[in-house]
């Protein structure tokens, strides 16, 4: 590997369990000069409706990511030949205050997007997708959304409040941040409040593939639909770790049985190669419910595939 | 949803993590007037042969069930339009005394069955299936058994004692509570004491499908065989959580590797639609060995499918 | 024991590990007719500044409390001869929204106080003390506060926001809910932001005894000071579980080493006998960080002593 | 050290974390020829009234004991100069059946006592003290009991059954196995069912020192009373690990806050030097509730002091 | 079952949770007279590059193995009719010193191989494969290797040192202990340091099937290739538990998402029937990261299949 | 606070749970210009003789330290008015190789000492004290040692090897790095291999106060002896977290019951005020055995007191 710019510490020189924990042992750099991809933590969980604690998600994912190596063998990509990446620390949040936090998150992310850097965000609960999308759309306009999740997160409100981790994508569509006709939700499953829940998501213009739909059609067809849907539109990928089955990701806020394996998730993410990912997140890792840290390892692996997608795009364009 | 009778608390009014833990946030009601389905805990584990602690199973399953919502999207059923359900608390048990406990469990369940209410039982170790079946058969006569488990539980005795969690179904057949020719065991696997163990179960008249058999034939064929076997006979479904692989259900008494996923379990249970389930249980959840609570979530999901089966039957008859 | 009114289930008739979890196996009753003491959960943690998850505190404390028996041997009181007590469930909260939740908590508690019932609250993070005190003062006027905590919780604000779990007692004094000259803080310790932190608490009129002060003077002298301070004023006791050392209460939001044992806490609480406790809480139990549940057991034990204080007062007046 | 007979493996030759787990790395020997002390597991927990799982106590204690070294520095005794000790494995039990198990436990222990070997038993729940005492008294006649516990374990029955872990010492007194006037209970505390509970224990002839009594009088006076009480009578020491505070022993069946430290327990046990210990047990370690294994380490340390008492007696007589 | 020689304790006579923990409740025997298979612990983890603690692997696997029964139903083999097996304890190691430990491990294993006994080793980190292969090859000459692992373990060195758990198979090939053309690696996956990593393994002569290769071709084809590769050559099977997905084996040193289920592993191992296994190991179980013990259960299950392979070979030859 | 130089991030501006984890939220700085104190991780555990995993100690302690605030209220010191402190990351180690690692650790620490910076080291196992002392003595000459530990760590060798975590202080004395007549060991307790173990430590010239000695004489007298012993000699403080009782520090390699509380440790450390601490460490935190993280919190608190000692010295000289 001849790194293009910023790259991970060399694990043949210092062991992977050493050093202050940054994502993938990347340098901790705030100045985005010469940076293609910036990993950023958003330690916010005030939007959570059940289990809470995703504010410690970035810490756990950074820790688990120390096992990652620079060559994605499944995709055949030597990542840092194509991208320069850093850990840019955490954005500002105010625990206990959603609207105020959203303002700060958006404010911190806007210059990242404006600089043409791809932020890969470690959540945090899923409510943060809204300020992320606000920042992204300010630079890129309405985005194609590829959304992995067991929940549609398009409810209207909880207890009279429109902002929490069950509503970001409805808000984003209402605000014109997402192009729903270019967007797709993958993995929806589990009990709903009413038959209308999925209809509502579809009425917003989203394509919704449930877990049962996906098992019926097979991974290749799912990939084909996602690619067709997104096309050349600039895309945001949002990956709620509860897309995975609780056996693979127990440490999450609203675990939903009957989900996917990490191998399936890897195949699907690799299937997105070629899409123009301008921003992405991986959310809802709750370390306090992750005694063996496998959720954190899964979350790090998802981010690794997202990073690879950016590298492939840079390599090929 | 226009609930038919008793239904869960509204999670848009009070958060799902609030309130005294009843199954699915249903009202705690002992009087069975106007009730179709009663969830009941049987906190008994004196019949356990290895790990022990299923007496805390009902508590854990009630807690996990707070995440459940009323519409079963996989089955397309708005449950409480068709059934009125309550949590009726726990039945009486005497820790340390199997025979005495069985007397009390049966005594508490008999009036439930007699009232035409379907009890959905949260165990407890699997030995409780015997007093459950005694109570059920008193009202309904010999039942078709659909038994999900990695173990056949038809051993004759342990240490000279005929009652424990390895023997209930042999006892039930001997007592005429089960119609073996209408019954089926699904998921049997793992090392045995001798080649004769499965032969014994079959000699009792049971159809036994091992995990390997089921993987060979596929889920659809398994469902077809179960439906054919049971037919119109009134049925009891007994689901030992160790039917699932330990990755999906680590918190159980005698974990057996090489098992099923929760998604597979959901498909199989949904495949039983139409069967006349008059009683059912989900047993062997041990919270002390379930650090991320995924076994409890799986157990709650199984009970949710069992409840759905009752709702479908009521809807369609 | 001849119970005066509502009393726990008899543990010689049904085992303590059975039944839906209410505090101390008390009946779940919403109607406060004939009730002296109501245990109430406040599953709110949006005010937390570090670890979060106290929304599950009431559940864990109810579970641990099933071990409690009705006679307080240390205090020599047969509790339910003197008080009728119930578990009245949880009050309303809106996760993610502090001000809205405070309105609801106060609204739910006002009628309890107005009815002359003593609410014993299971938190929740410590921010809830503010709406509790608002409700209490509406009936009782400014209260003497006996505050067990490692932190003074009299900071002015965090991130520009005046409401969270570090500020309730400053707010309460500003609002005239507490009579600071009748009030005492016990157990303060740990690093501060600045030398002025404790001065600020004292400038508000509070007596502040640090852990070092208390170890220097001995428990008897501490009790004498607290009794002298409070005198005949109606009192509110607020017990943050982090008063205890993390060895005794690991499952809390901001653990502070160098603290007290549960035996010391019991002695101090028993030393308050005679004080007119009109309301109290025990807060900051975080089950997700309490792997052996000892924090929950400690929290239940604190509530048991608070209940005993009420029983003693009723017995003696 | 010149060992007298059987002694632990040499930890300078093979690391302490190696080898099949026997107590203190002693040889696994069933033939008691040349043996002074036999460690024996009694993996029985059917007598448990709340949390259960002490059947895995012997395994955990054996594992923790691998850290022990042969010289008791606190007592100044090179243990294996004076005693030959082995791990004799586990006695027979029948899970789920108390009376049958008691018959087997007694039958297995009788020849040990008859051979003049001191059995040091790893429980198991506390109900096993009854068959232990039956076996001990058959050889030694009525014994002085030194009983460390937070509970008196002298209730009459639970749910109509006289045998469980809350009743062994009442039964033992009724059967004449214990000389109550030579016996003492140490550490009793916690809520009771009624004021009469302790009176009942005292009415049986036992001296009962509560935790509060002990803190009031100091450890030296407690030791003096215990020594005076026992005198030259052959003694059985029964140590329920819940004598310790849950901070020091979380992994137990009925944890009781407000207890003792391990240092205090060590002082008390060393204070028994000179007493003629003919048998002893350490019970109620539940590994499934002991995530950091400190309860197992505490249990091993208690057994180490018990072994030292035997060594001192052999050295000095 | 009429056992041929040494066989497990009878679990109808004493419960499976009782007794000093040996593998599968086999007798602890050091003298290999009359022994076909010897289970041996190698509690060594100084070769670990990330998480560490496999020195406690043998203890955990022995504990979990108590659930195993003697008849392998999946393979249809009554094991102890064909083999006499014992637990021979642990071999010598020196924590902190790799070269010295390798000398001792080899020295302890050489007489086992020389006696014609098949050692089934419980690791320990994977570095121990090197001294194992040195001992094996001394008796059997260059061996066919069937290697299950997510990592190739054929790196050249770390930090200038050639011996650790990432290098054993390169060393073994260099030393002529393995016949690479008869050998196969299964399950390789995850990020690499460079594209050349797998090429290097292949350049050594090994056949390398990645996880993706295997999912593409199906289990039957994988088995066929492994059988074809090994043929009649004496074989050593080395099973790194991280071959399994972290959902199935969280407690390991370098978990790698996207892996296999235990059911798939069982099928693959059973597919090796007929191969002449002269030695094998199962390594990298780390109990401190295995809170529900499912990794230990999986490890025990792997060893059970390895034992079955030996039994089949003895039965059929 | 007007910080003198480098100081922690302001927790009123960004929450304490945010940001890449450095000790106490200090800046991550490698260049020691303008630095008084450098926190450094030494993630090394190859010297461990029992439980292993201290390589992850620095990570856990950094995480826990985020709760610390800048003013030491117990000591009355506003730390960063007097010292400029940074987190300088981790030193180089080679897992699996003690001698090589010692060379690297010493090489990394020598320039720190030479620059007059006080390194406060987060271990790692206790073997690292030797290269630390080598580096320290190179600048400062033979040092007074204040050693908190339950073990004397002055054994000669294990398995023929002189370097591991049981031997560093014997080696250091042999090499003339420590002035034994100026040095003191505090807290020694627990079983020994032989009566001679403590005699050996004393024969090396060390003053050894056992836990029993210390409880007998009281903390004030202990402090007086330590102060008298050290006097004006430049000092190194080495704090093995197992000085604390396992209730307060379960996550350690060789837990020893009967130890000290964190409050006692704080008093002792504060009693060292005035001593010229030129370097110090806190070692043996093992996160994998620390489920509630209280050991990490205790370790961070110890380092906070060590930092305070440096600040006091700078303030007063």
| pLDDT tens track for E242-266 | 999 999 999 999 999 999 999 999 9
Given F45, F100, F164, which is nearest E52 (Cβ)?
F45
Measured distance CA(F23)–CA(F44) in Å, rounded: 18
Cβ-based contacts under 8 A for chains B and D: 66
Q: Apex CA F200: angle with CA F194 and CA F202, to 5°?
A: 125
Please, which pLDDT band fits residue C198 given cuts at 50, 70 and 90?
Answer: confident
**Angle between the N-to-C axes of helices C294-316 and C262-270, in degrees from 0 to 180, rounded to the nearest 10:** 10
pLDDT at residue D283, rounded to an integer: 98
Name residues whose C-beta falls within 8 Å of residue E217's C-beta, 6 or more positions apart in sequence.
E209, E225
Name the β-bridge partners of B37: B85, B118
Task: Compute the average pLDDT of residues C135-160.
Answer: 94
Task: Verify whether the Cβ–Cβ distance A18 to F87 is below 8 Å.
Answer: no
Measured distance CA(D285)–CA(D266) in Å, rounded: 17
> Per-residue pLDDT tens for E117-158?
999 999 999 999 999 999 999 999 999 999 999 999 998 888
Chains that touch A (3 or more CB pairs under 8 A): B, C, E, F
Task: Verify whether the Cβ–Cβ distance C94 to A55 is below 8 Å.
Answer: no
Instruction: Provide the CB-side half-sphere exposure for D265 (13 A, CA).
Output: 33
Measured distance CA(D6)–CA(D83) in Å, rounded: 8
Measured distance CA(F280)–CA(E52) in Å, rounded: 26
Measured distance CA(E134)–CA(E91) in Å, rounded: 15
Q: Is the pLDDT of residue C42 over 70?
A: yes
The answer to whether residues B66 and B21 touch, using CB atoms and an 8 Å cutoff, is: yes
Residues written for chain A: 317
pLDDT at residue C104, rounded to an integer: 97
The closest alpha carbon to C69, from B63, D49, D205, belongs to D49
Task: Verify whether the Cβ–Cβ distance C250 to F70 is below 8 Å.
Answer: no
Task: Verify whether the Cβ–Cβ distance A71 to E192 is below 8 Å.
Answer: yes
Given A198, A212, A246, which is nearest B297 (Cβ)?
A246
The answer to whether residues A267 and A75 touch, using CB atoms and an 8 Å cutoff, is: no
> Per-residue pLDDT tens for F46-77?
999 999 999 999 999 999 999 999 999 999 99
Given B68, B69, B294, which is nearest A247 (Cβ)?
B294
| Residue D168, both tokens | 């062994």
Please, which pLDDT band fits residue C286 given cuts at 50, 70 and 90?
Answer: very high
Q: What is the CA radius of gyration of chain C?
A: 18
Number of helices and strands in chain C (H, E): 9, 10
**Angstroms from C296 CA to nearest CA on chain D:** 11
Quote the DSSP letter at residue C24: G
Measured distance CA(E120)–CA(E123) in Å, rounded: 10
The answer to whether residues E53 and E59 touch, using CB atoms and an 8 Å cutoff, is: no
Q: Is the pLDDT of residue F259 over 90?
A: yes
Q: Above pLDDT 70, what percent of chain C?
A: 100
Q: What is the CA radius of gyration of chain D?
A: 18
Sign of CA dihedral B110, B115, B116, B119: negative
| Chain C CA closest to residue F299 | C257
Name residues whose C-beta falls within 8 Å of residue F133's C-beta, 6 or more positions apart in sequence.
F143, F168, F172, F175, F177, F178, F236
Would you put residue F70 in left (φ > 0), alpha (ψ -120 to 50) or beta? alpha
Instruction: Provide the CB-side half-sphere exposure for D3 (13 A, CA).
Output: 16
pLDDT at residue B216, rounded to an integer: 96
3-state SS track over C32-69: CCCCCEEEEEECCCCCCCCCCCHHHHHHHHHHHHCCCC
Instruction: Provide the CB-side half-sphere exposure for A130 (13 A, CA).
Output: 27
Measured distance CA(C217)–CA(C76) in Å, rounded: 26
> Per-residue pLDDT tens for B49-94?
999 999 999 999 999 999 999 999 999 999 999 999 999 999 999 9
Contacts of B1 in chain A (CB under 8 A): 194
Q: Apex CA C137: angle with CA C132 and CA C140, to 5°?
A: 125
pLDDT at residue E2, rounded to an integer: 77
The complex scores an ipTM of 0.96
Name residues whose C-beta falls within 8 Å of residue B179's C-beta, 6 or more positions apart in sequence.
B142, B143, B144, B145, B233
Measured distance CA(B125)–CA(B110) in Å, rounded: 20
> Per-residue pLDDT tens for F183-222?
999 999 999 988 888 888 899 999 999 999 999 999 999 9
Task: Verify whether the Cβ–Cβ distance F28 to A20 is below 8 Å.
Answer: yes
**Angstroms from B91 CA to nearest CA on chain D:** 14
Name residues whose C-beta falls within 8 Å of residue C143's C-beta, 6 or more positions apart in sequence.
C133, C136, C137, C177, C178, C179, C182, C233, C234, C235, C236, C278, C279
Name residues whose C-beta falls within 8 Å of residue C144's C-beta, 6 or more positions apart in sequence.
C178, C179, C182, C183, C229, C230, C231, C233, C234, C235, C236, C275
Quote the DSSP letter at residue C151: S
Task: Verify whether the Cβ–Cβ distance E212 to A74 is below 8 Å.
Answer: yes
Task: Verify whether the Cβ–Cβ distance F212 to D74 is below 8 Å.
Answer: yes
pLDDT at residue E217, rounded to an integer: 97
Name residues whose C-beta falls within 8 Å of residue D172's C-beta, 6 or more positions apart in sequence.
D129, D130, D133, D145, D178
Dihedral of the alpha carbons of D218, D224, D230, D232, in degrees to the nearest 10: 160
The answer to whether residues A260 and A240 touch, using CB atoms and an 8 Å cutoff, is: no
| Chain B CA closest to residue E251 | B247
Token pair 């060798």: residue? F157
Task: Compute the average pLDDT of residues A65-80.
Answer: 96
**Angstroms from A283 CA to nearest CA on chain C:** 17
pLDDT at residue A194, rounded to an integer: 86
Q: Residues of A near E (CB-CB distance < 8 A)? A: 1, 11-13, 15-17, 66-74, 76, 78, 245, 247-248, 261-263, 266, 291-294, 297-298, 301, 304
The closest alpha carbon to B252, from B305, B308, B194, B302, belongs to B302
pLDDT at residue A1, rounded to an integer: 58
Task: Verify whether the Cβ–Cβ distance A67 to E50 is below 8 Å.
Answer: yes
**Angstroms from C65 CA to nearest CA on chain F:** 21
Measured distance CA(D243)–CA(D149) in Å, rounded: 4
Contacts of D12 in chain F (CB under 8 A): 158-159, 193
Which H or E run includes F130? helix F129-140
Given B191, B192, B259, which is nearest E304 (Cβ)?
B191
| Chain D CA closest to residue C297 | D257
Please, which pLDDT band fits residue F1 given cuts at 50, 70 and 90?
Answer: low
Measured distance CA(C121)–CA(C112) in Å, rounded: 12
Give the three-class secondary structure for D221.
helix
Q: Residues of E near D (CB-CB distance < 8 A)? A: 14-15, 17-22, 28, 41, 43, 55-56, 59, 62-63, 87, 89-90, 92-95, 291
Name residues whose C-beta falls within 8 Å of residue F317's C-beta, 6 or more positions apart in sequence.
none
pLDDT at residue B1, rounded to an integer: 58
Quote the DSSP letter at residue F248: T
**Angle between the N-to-C axes of helices B262-270 and B219-230, in degrees from 0 to 180, rounded to the nearest 10:** 40
CA distances from E297 to A245, B192, D17, D283, E285 (A): 21, 16, 20, 27, 10
**Angstroms from C9 CA to nearest CA on chain F:** 33
What chain C holds in terms of domains, given with CATH numbers, is 23-316 (3.40.800.10)
The answer to whether residues B117 and B32 touch, using CB atoms and an 8 Å cutoff, is: yes
Task: State the distance between the two ends of chain E, measured CA to CA, in whole angstroms.
Answer: 20
CB neighbours (10 Å) of residue B205? 13
Measured distance CA(F112)–CA(B310) in Å, rounded: 73
| Residue C272, both tokens | 């308050």
Measured distance CA(D266)–CA(D279) in Å, rounded: 18
Cβ-in-10-Å burial (0-12, 13-18, 19+) of B227 comes to middle
> Per-residue pLDDT tens for A181-198?
999 999 999 999 888 888
Task: Verify whether the Cβ–Cβ distance C293 to D250 is below 8 Å.
Answer: yes
Token pair 């492994």: residue? E226
The answer to whether residues F221 and F209 touch, using CB atoms and an 8 Å cutoff, is: no
Per-residue pLDDT of chain D (317 residues; tens, 9 = 90+): 578 899 999 988 899 999 999 999 999 999 999 999 999 999 999 999 999 999 999 999 999 999 999 999 999 999 999 999 999 999 999 999 999 999 999 999 999 999 999 999 999 999 999 999 999 999 999 999 999 999 999 988 888 898 888 899 999 999 999 999 999 999 999 999 888 888 888 999 999 999 999 999 999 999 999 999 999 999 999 999 999 999 999 999 999 999 999 999 999 999 999 999 999 999 999 999 999 999 999 999 999 999 999 999 999 98
> Per-residue pLDDT tens for C224-251?
999 999 999 999 999 999 999 999 999 9
Mean pLDDT for all residues in chain A: 96
Token pair 């694990």: residue? A11
Give the three-class secondary structure for B64.
helix
Task: Verify whether the Cβ–Cβ distance B18 to C28 is below 8 Å.
Answer: no
pLDDT at residue D176, rounded to an integer: 98
Chains that touch E (3 or more CB pairs under 8 A): A, B, D, F
Contacts of F152 in chain D (CB under 8 A): none
| Residue C210, both tokens | 């640090």
CA distances from E92 to B283, D11, E22 (A): 44, 12, 17
Task: Verify whether the Cβ–Cβ distance A43 to F95 is below 8 Å.
Answer: no
Q: Residues of B near A (CB-CB distance < 8 A)? A: 1, 11-13, 15-17, 66-74, 76, 78, 245, 247-248, 261-263, 266, 291-294, 297-298, 301, 304
The answer to whether residues E293 and E60 touch, using CB atoms and an 8 Å cutoff, is: yes
Measured distance CA(B233)–CA(A290) in Å, rounded: 44
pLDDT at residue C200, rounded to an integer: 86
């Amino acid at each position: 590997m001849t790194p293009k710019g910023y790259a991970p510490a060399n694990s043949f020189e210092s062991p992977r369990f050493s050093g202050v924990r940054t994502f993938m042992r990347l340098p901790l750099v705030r100045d985005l000069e010469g940076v293609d991809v910036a990993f950023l933590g958003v330690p916010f969980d005030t939007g959570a409706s059940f289990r809470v604690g995703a504010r410690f998600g970035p810490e756990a994912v950074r820790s688990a990511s120390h096992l990652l190596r620079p060559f994605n063998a499944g995709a055949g990509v030597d990542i840092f030949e194509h991208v320069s990446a850093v850990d840019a620390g955490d954005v500002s949040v105010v625990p206990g205050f959603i609207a105020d936090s959203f303002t700060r998150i958006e404010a911190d992310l806007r210059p990242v997007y404006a600089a043409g850097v791809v932020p890969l965000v470690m959540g945090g609960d899923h409510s943060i997708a809204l300020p992320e999308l606000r920042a992204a759309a300010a630079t890129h306009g309405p985005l194609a959304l590829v959304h992995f999740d067991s929940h549609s997160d398009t409810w209207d409100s909880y207890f009279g409040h429109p902002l929490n981790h069950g509503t970001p994508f409805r808000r984003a569509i209402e605000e014109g941040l997402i192009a729903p006709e270019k967007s797709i939700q993958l993995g929806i499953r589990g009990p709903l409040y009413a038959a209308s829940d999925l209809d509502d998501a579809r009425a917003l213009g989203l394509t919704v593939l449930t877990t049962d739909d996906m098992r019926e059609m097979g991974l290749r067809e799912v990939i084909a639909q996602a690619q067709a849907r997104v096309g050349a539109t600039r895309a945001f990928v949002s990956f709620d770790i509860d897309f995975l089955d609780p056996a693979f990701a127990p440490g999450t806020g609203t675990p939903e049985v009957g989900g996917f394996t990490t191998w399936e998730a890897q195949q699907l993410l690799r299937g997105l190669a070629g899409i123009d990912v301008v921003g992405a997140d991986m959310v809802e890792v709750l370390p306090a419910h992750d005694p063996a840290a496998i959720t954190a390892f899964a979350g790090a692996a998802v981010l690794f595939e997202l990073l690879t997608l950016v590298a492939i795009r840079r390599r090929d364009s």
